[in-house]
């Protein structure tokens, strides 16, 4: 089956829990006639869904922080569908805490899941794409990757790291037939906020507790009423990929678009306001001759 004049593609999607972006991507891929490998730490909730789609779907267990599981899942996907055409690095989650006071283990856990696991999966999939001279890598960043969020300093830092990595990867693989897209969702109606009501705040410095209580209250209040629709968001990504000139990044959600563009406008204005200082740090371009 094809979408327009394009042959059917095989998608490999991480973070496939029901009700999230991973499932939405899988559905969007199936809608356009593609095949889907959907991975998750727990596959039992996906069994009934997979059975409904027959041989176009493969569900695999995958903890993206386990390199052995990553290699096994990628190998199984390639064996089943003769390759992976689209990788969606979707697995991830946010912890909150102050920059000064978040405990060290949580900081490292944050980067293991949101940054290093993305590297692990990407590096496992790229050899096959290079061999075929084609492919897509879609990295699910966040609006927080372009605009830091108070109380989510390390999550914002990990997503900023994804943004930088994605920009460089795009340049490095462009001549190999591989395209790379960063996706920056705002607040979407997934299960991402579900645990905030009961999860304890792991904060080591009491001075930051009131700020973090406000952050948690805002997340709990918003849960279930986030403006973003994961189904529409996933479809927007598919549409962007199929453009003649695909974008390098795609912000999802109206509020996120407004916040990101305002932040980048402010950053540009701030940089330009110090242009003389910036340029003055260079050696003079026309030094006076010595007398």
Residues assigned a catalytic role? 141, 155, 159
Q: Which of these, 147, 191, 196, 138, lies nearest to 169 by C-alpha position?
A: 138
Q: How many other C-beta atoms can be found within 10 angstroms of the C-beta atom of residue 33?
A: 15
Note whether 147 and 259 are within 8 A (CB). yes
* Structure tokens, 233: 């968001």
Task: For the chain, report the end-to-end CA distance as a whole number of angstroms.
Answer: 78
* Structure tokens, 290: 């010595």
Q: Which of these, 264, 272, 4, lies nearest to 146 by C-alpha position?
A: 264
Classify residue 235 as exposed, middle or buried by CB count within 10 Å of its CB (0-12, 13-18, 19+): middle
Residues 6+ apart with CB under 8 A from 32: 3, 238
3-state secondary structure of 77: helix
- CB-based burial, 155-169: b 16+ in 10 Å, e otherwise: bbbbbbbbbebbeeb
289: left (phi over 0), alpha (psi -120 to 50) or beta: beta
């Amino acid at each position: 089956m094809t979408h327009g004049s394009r042959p059917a593609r095989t998608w490999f999607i991480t973070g496939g829990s029901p009700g999230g972006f991973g499932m939405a991507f899988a559905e969007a891929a199936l809608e356009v006639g593609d095949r889907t490998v959907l991975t998750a730490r727990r596959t039992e909730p996906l069994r009934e869904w997979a059975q409904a789609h027959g041989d176009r779907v493969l569900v695999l267990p995958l903890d993206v922080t386990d390199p052995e599981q990553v290699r096994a899942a990628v190998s199984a996907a390639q064996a089943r569908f003769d390759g992976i055409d689209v990788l969606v690095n979707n697995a991830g989650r946010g912890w909150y805490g102050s920059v000064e006071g978040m405990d060290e283990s949580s900081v490292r856990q944050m980067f293991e899941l949101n940054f290093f696991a993305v590297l692990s999966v990407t590096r496992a999939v790229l050899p096959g794409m290079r061999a075929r001279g084609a492919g897509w890598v879609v990295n699910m960043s966040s609006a927080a990757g372009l605009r830091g969020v108070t109380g989510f300093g390390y999550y914002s830092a990990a997503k900023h790291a994804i943004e930088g990595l994605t920009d460089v990867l795009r340049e490095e693989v462009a001549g190999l037939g591989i395209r790379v897209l960063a996706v920056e969702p705002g607040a979407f109606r997934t299960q991402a906020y579900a645990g905030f009501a009961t999860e304890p705040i792991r904060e080591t410095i009491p001075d930051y507790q009131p700020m973090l209580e406000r952050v948690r209250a805002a997340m709990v209040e918003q849960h279930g009423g986030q403006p973003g629709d994961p189904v529409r968001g996933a479809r927007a990504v598919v549409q962007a990929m199929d453009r003649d000139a695909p974008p390098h990044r795609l912000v999802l959600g109206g509020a996120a678009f407004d916040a990101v563009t305002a932040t980048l406008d402010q950053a540009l204005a701030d940089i330009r306001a110090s242009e003389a200082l910036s340029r003055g740090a260079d050696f003079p371009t026309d030094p006076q001759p010595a007398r």
